[in-house]
Amino acid sequence: MTARSLLLAATLLSGPAVFATPFDTTQVAEDTKWLAHLDMDRLKSSTLGQFLIESIKSAMPKQEGAAISLNQDAVIAELHSITAYGLSFDETAQNQSVLILKTGPKAQSIIDGYLASIEASPEAQSPFKMLTGKSFPTYLIGGEVHMAFPRKDLIVISKDFAQVERSMNVIEGRAPRISKKSPLLAPSSAQGFFFVASANGLDNLKDIPPQARILQKATGLQLALGEAGNKVITRLSLTTADAESSNQLRRIIDGMIALVSLAQVENESLNRLTQSITVEDTETNVTLNLSYPVDDIKKLLVAAMAPKSQSASASGNRSSSSSASAPVIEVNDAVGGSVLKVVNVDARGDNGNLARNATDGDPATYWGVVGRQQWIRCELESLSLVREVKITWYKPSERATRFSVQSSNDGVQWKTLVSRTSSTTIEGSESYNIPDTATRWVRILCTGTSSNPLTTISELTFLGEPRYTAPAPAAAVEAPTPPAK
């Protein structure tokens, strides 16, 4: 572990908070500007936490056969909570930040044993240096960061040893502690959260990057992250100085969410993530709430954590694997065939006229939605060879609709097959030929209309060959051996 990695850990924990147990206000100094708390026991018991811990462990260098190794599982078992706080946001922030690890009684022995084994090995080079003359065991890591063991169940880390000593004065009651009425603390609704953090005085920050300027509209920020049932729950709360600032911040956030939802039309997971956000506001507060399935969050994290080279390789592997197993289709512009059965249908949104109305066989009902970049997605009963799409637009003479027909292997990643504009003169079903495509998911993505933002589809039908089986690949013909000269 390097000094930089320790500082990165503290930075990742910084940010905003409603506090989950066992957060202890007696560990935090009175003049704190930001703080964060991670309840490791609650995290370890959650599905998301177990996934994150296993991902981190698998990403660490393998230690098989190494003469010196650290028992990762033992360390994780001994770690109960992590609290970080800082006294400044300026250039001295690194020297005025503290990381406090609450542990079990074996943690110090595990780490001491590991460090002793490094020192005993003639080949190993240790980044740890034991400091003498301190009131409790202290190591200097990488010549920059102090790691102290003031108690068997406590580890305190900081770049500045004076901050380690000051932190212990706070913990032992010899220095002022944060008030329970501090704006950094939000005592309500703490249940279910394993990570909580807060910051105050954001409106006084300088040199904020353009992408974070929205923070200058807020005086404080609070974040809570947890898990309930099979969903990850997140709450982000921005405190403002007055009702006018709150209203302005609400409009900015609504606009940002709308832009993101338009930009992510090709990524179904991000689409659903954006749509799950709800926004609430009061005279001095704007709160974003998000509830999202744990499994979907895990998929997003896997994609985000994968190195670009690995992602490209994995993508290439998936492509070759898919191409080996997927049907090889010759595009011959064929049309017609059997009506393909739709077993599931959903849409990005609706105006009360639901997506299922478009596949119920009743031309009097319809799917309706307001806004651009809206879609309706259908899952077919089986892998099918889709040749033709028939759409009955509801009141087609009122507007022409621009749309694309898309296919997908998994219902998440989409490929555009054709893009068209509906007719305003055809009453009844309008037929669209598409390249013969073996798929199980088909989506109609509606990108806009000629007169108003309303999209309406009365009936949606797919024609082709159901229960499609790819033709067997032709056997390779071995080239004849040239005669010997």
Predicted confidence at residue 130, as pLDDT, reads 83
**pTM score of the predicted model:** 0.59
- Say if 475 falls within a structural domain: no
Local confidence band at 139 (pLDDT 50, 70, 90 cut-offs) = confident
Domain of 461, CATH number, reads: 2.60.120.260
Q: Are residues 281 and 343 in the same domain?
A: no
Predicted confidence at residue 386, as pLDDT, reads 93
What's the rounded mean pLDDT across residues 137-147?
A: 88
Cross-strand bridge partners of residue 138: 148
Q: Are residues 49 and 185 in the same domain?
A: yes
Predicted confidence at residue 210, as pLDDT, reads 55
Q: How far apart are CA 286 and CA 300, in angstroms?
A: 26
DSSP 426-477: --SEEEEEEEEEEEEEEEEEEEEESSSSEEEEEEEEEEEESS--PPPPPPPP
- Say if 321 falls within a structural domain: no
What's the rounded mean pLDDT across residues 139-144?
A: 87
Q: What values do phi and psi take at 175, rounded to 5?
A: -135, 155
- Report residue 441 as tokens: 């998911």
DSSP 346-392: EES--SSS-GGGGGSS-TT--EEEESSSEEEEEEEEEEEEEEEEEEE
Smallest Cα–Cα separation from 433: which of 331, 365, 327?
Answer: 331
Q: Are residues 137 and 270 in the same domain?
A: yes
Terminal-to-terminal C-alpha distance of the chain = 67
- Report residue 402 as tokens: 């621009």
Q: Are residues 139 and 216 in the same domain?
A: yes
- Say if 438 falls within a structural domain: yes
Local confidence band at 111 (pLDDT 50, 70, 90 cut-offs) = confident
Q: What three-state secondary structure class fits 47? A: helix
Most confident of the following: 304-308, 321-325, 355-359: 355-359
- Say if 330 falls within a structural domain: no
- Say if 311 falls within a structural domain: no
What's the rounded mean pLDDT across residues 249-271?
A: 68
Q: Are residues 267 and 399 in the same domain?
A: no
Report whether pLDDT(347) > 90. Answer: yes
Q: Are residues 346 and 401 in the same domain?
A: yes
285 Cβ contact list (under 8 Å, min separation 6): 237, 238, 239, 240, 246
Residues in the chain: 485
CA distances from 53 to 60, 80, 101, 103 (A): 11, 14, 17, 17
Report whether pLDDT(317) > 50. Answer: no
183 preceded by cis ω (within 30°)?
Answer: no
What's the rounded mean pLDDT across residues 423-443?
A: 90
Q: How far apart are CA 157 and CA 148, in angstroms?
A: 6
Q: Are residues 285 and 180 in the same domain?
A: yes
Q: In terms of pLDDT, which residue wins out, 168 or 318?
A: 168
6 Cβ contact list (under 8 Å, min separation 6): 99, 141, 145, 147, 157
3-state helix/strand/coil string of 68-119: CCCCHHHHHHHEEEEEEEECCCCCCHHHHEEEEEEECCCHHHHHHHHHHHHH
Q: In terms of pLDDT, which residue wins out, 6 or 143?
A: 143
469 Cβ contact list (under 8 Å, min separation 6): 327
Q: Are residues 346 and 268 in the same domain?
A: no
- Report residue 4 as tokens: 């930089």
Range of the domain at 255: 3-60+68-294
Q: What pLDDT digit, counting tens, does each position of 13-64 carry?
A: 333 334 444 578 888 898 888 889 999 988 888 898 888 888 877 766 655 5
Local confidence band at 99 (pLDDT 50, 70, 90 cut-offs) = very high
Q: Are residues 428 and 288 in the same domain?
A: no
Predicted confidence at residue 250, as pLDDT, reads 85
- Say if 307 falls within a structural domain: no
- Say if 483 falls within a structural domain: no
Report whether pLDDT(320) > 60. Answer: no
Smallest Cα–Cα separation from 384: which of 474, 473, 462, 472?
Answer: 462
What proportion of the chain, given as a percentage, has pLDDT over 70? 74
Q: Are residues 162 and 54 in the same domain?
A: yes
What proportion of the chain, given as a percentage, has pLDDT over 90? 24
- Overall domain count for the chain: 2
Q: Are residues 290 and 345 in the same domain?
A: no
* Structural contact between residues 430 and 345, judged by C-beta atoms closer than 8 angstroms: no
Q: What pLDDT digit, counting tens, does each position of 190-238 carry?
A: 456 888 888 887 766 666 555 555 666 788 888 889 888 888 889 888 8
- Say if 176 falls within a structural domain: yes
Q: Are residues 355 and 461 in the same domain?
A: yes
